[in-house]
Structure 1
Amino acid sequence: MNIVGQLAPLAFGLAVIGSGIGVGIIVGKTIESVARQPELQGRLSSLMFLGIALTEALCFIAIAVAFIPFPKP
């Protein structure tokens, strides 16, 4: 039985769900921060996009790990 092939879709789903939650939190906190201090909008936006890029990179790493072949015992 090939268990790695059966777990890959689960890994994809968890990676996408985690990434979506992370991006939602980042954007929500940025909107909250801009509402409190509108003069920092430019700086906060650039930090937001950096955070989104790092969060999505973790998603891509999780998907890539699912494709690593494991040696058979």
Structure 2
Amino acid sequence: MEGELALLGKYIGAGLATIGLGGAGIGVGHIAGNFLAGALRNPSAAPSQMANLFVGIAFAEALGIFSFLVALLLMFAV
């Protein structure tokens, strides 16, 4: 019984840790949407802001990858 309860806790914790993946998806969509809105307002400034777009997307995705890593560690750690 105690082993099953610990296993249940591991799976619930892993599921809660994956909420960060949804947050990363929302963050990337928000960054790309705001970039597109700004690029449509001022098309001549869009190429100079492309590097900032990729840095923002990389940071948002990194947080999602970290939450995925935490979920895997919770599921498969001893």
Given the two structures, how large is their TM-score scaled by the length of structure 1? 0.79
Which ranges in structure 2 are unaligned for 5 or more consecutive residues?
A: none
Q: Which runs of 4+ in 1 moved over 4 A?
A: none
Q: Percent identity?
A: 32
- Could you tell me how far apart the structure 1 residues matched to 2:24 and 2:58 are? 10
Which amino acid counterpart does residue 34 of structure 2 have in structure 1? K
- Is 1:40 aligned with 2:75? no
Tell me the equivalent position of 1:9: 15
Instruction: Tell me by how many angstroms 1:53 deviates.
Output: 0.4
* SS, match of residue 9 in structure 1: helix
Output the aligned Cα RMSD. Answer: 1.8
Separation of aligned partners in 2, 1:6 and 1:33: 40
Q: The residue matched to 2:46 in structure 1 has which SS?
A: helix
Unpaired runs of 5+ residues, structure 1, are: none
> Which stretch of structure 1 is more off in the superposition, 36-45 or 21-30?
36-45
Are 1:27 and 2:32 an aligned pair?
A: yes
Structure that is richer in helix per residue:
2
